[in-house]
Amino acid sequence: MQYMIRALDGRNMLEKRLAVRAQHLENLQKIKGKILCAGGLLDEEGKMKGSALVIDFESEDALKEYLKSEPYIIEQVWADVEVSRMNVVLLNGEKVGK
């Protein structure tokens, strides 16, 4: 099952986000085969204000384990995390789902 994660940073978290970013990217390496798409959400000035990820996990429990290990959650960079189930239909322009 694919999941879309939309996470917005708390107020004035850019400096902390940048300090924790290496840990966040290292943690993502542990699940790199499951990541379909990931990147930073930007404000009007082009500064990071959150994250968006599309990840394919075998179960909701696997998703929960990832979220428990996510440094941006542990370090309270992300203030608002929204997770939605998703049906990925196109990947790199190729049809992969229904």
**34-55 pLDDT tens trace:** 999 999 999 999 999 999 999 9
Local structure of 58: helix, strand or coil? coil
Question: Which residue shows structure tokens 């429990």?
Answer: 61
Q: Taking residues 16-21, report their average pLDDT.
A: 97
Q: What is the pLDDT of residue 8?
A: 98
Q: What is the pLDDT of residue 93?
A: 86
Encoding tokens for residue 92? 């790199």
Task: Specify the CATH superfamily of domain 2-89.
Answer: Dimeric alpha+beta barrel (3.30.70.1060)
> What is the value of pTM for the model shown?
0.91
- In the chain, what are the domain boundaries? 2-89
